[in-house]
Structure 1
């Protein structure tokens, strides 16, 4: 998601001025560090959820202090414990079950506070817009888990490749498309059900970025300009 920082995420943050940010999935921290710099400068707070972050979390805690909170848990275990937040960036386990239920957790929080946060979701385009990926297949209930294998993918090929291809080191759904399969499918299913008045925006660069905003969000006025001038 860090590839969207300068042209999309940072301008949205400037427009929205969130005081509490949640990041699901931090990997090496390239996006996390940028979020924390914003929080340090503005007095905001960033809660990072990742069961296996690939950076020194203790060093970050020492440097950023109260602006930083690290939760080494799966997102669906950690989210019910969170206080209210203004923005959430979702870039964790890229599968229907996880993303759909992450959005339901966001909705639960919004019902309690009366305000739906800005939601940024990575990987709404190929390869995981319409295909599940599992970091921890056993964490997904069997009835929601697509048949999967550690094999790579190729654009335009609905199956998996016996050798080579993209991202064959993780468990990918054997077939692309179909019900309850993929990040974008999870977003669409959530939007069909929610009672909140939300707007949906999508960028197709860098595996896709989806943006959910309440229809009355002040930052929404700036979003068309941000997206049209991003060059992405």
Structure 2
């Protein structure tokens, strides 16, 4: 998600001025440290949900202090413990079950506080917009888990490749499209049943970014211009 920082994420931060940020999926921290710099200089806080961070968590805490809270757990276990947040960045486990329920938990928070957060979701285009990937297949209930294999993909082909291809060592759903399959499908299914009036904006570079915004949000005044200026 860090590739969107300069043209999309930073302008959204400036326009919306979030006081509490949640990032799901930080990996090596390329986006995380930029979020924390924002928090440091704008008197905000960031919750980072990442099971296996690829950086020194203690050094991060020492530098950013109380601005940073690192939660080394599954997102669906950690999110309910965060009382309120204004901005949610989702770049963790790219499958229907996880993303749908991350959004459902954000909605539960919003029903308590009266305000749905701005949500940025990575991988809304190929390959995981319409295909599940499981970081930990055992964490997904069998009824919601597609048949999967450790085989790669190529654009324009639904079936997995026999060898090679993109993300060949990930647990990828055997088939593309269909019910309960993929990040974008999860967003669309959530929006159909949400009690909030939400708008979805989509960018298509770098595997896609979905921006989910309450229709009454002040960000609606500037977001179309941010997206147009980004060229993404």
TM range (shorter): over 0.9
TM-score (norm 1): 0.99
Q: Which runs of 4+ in 1 moved over 4 A?
A: none
Please show how residues 55-204 of structure 1 align to structure 2 within 5 Å: 55-204=55-204
Where in structure 2 are there 5+ consecutive unaligned residues? Answer: none
Where in structure 1 are there 5+ consecutive unaligned residues? Answer: none
CA RMSD in angstroms, aligned pairs only: 0.5
Q: Structure 1 residue 7: deviation in Å?
A: 0.2
2:53 matched residue in structure 1: 53
Q: Structure 1 residue 218: deviation in Å?
A: 1.0
Distance 1:169 1:221 in 2: 42
2:229 matched residue in structure 1: 229
TM-score (norm 2): 0.99
Give deviations 1:137-184, integer Å, cap 9, x for gaps. Answer: 000000100000111000011010110000011100000000000000
Distance 1:194 1:43 in 2: 31
Distance 1:99 1:35 in 2: 21
* Local SS of the residue matching 2:9: helix
1:33 matched residue in structure 2: 33
Distance 2:220 2:71 in 1: 30
* Local SS of the residue matching 1:30: coil
Distance 2:174 2:25 in 1: 24
Q: Structure 1 residue 195: deviation in Å?
A: 1.3
Distance 1:188 1:219 in 2: 21
Q: Structure 1 residue 216: deviation in Å?
A: 1.1
Give deviations 1:187-221, integer Å, cap 9, x for gaps. Answer: 00000001101111000110000001111111211
The alignment of Structure 1 onto Structure 2 pairs a total of residues equal to 232
Distance 1:45 1:65 in 2: 10
Distance 2:24 2:83 in 1: 15
Distance 1:219 1:17 in 2: 10
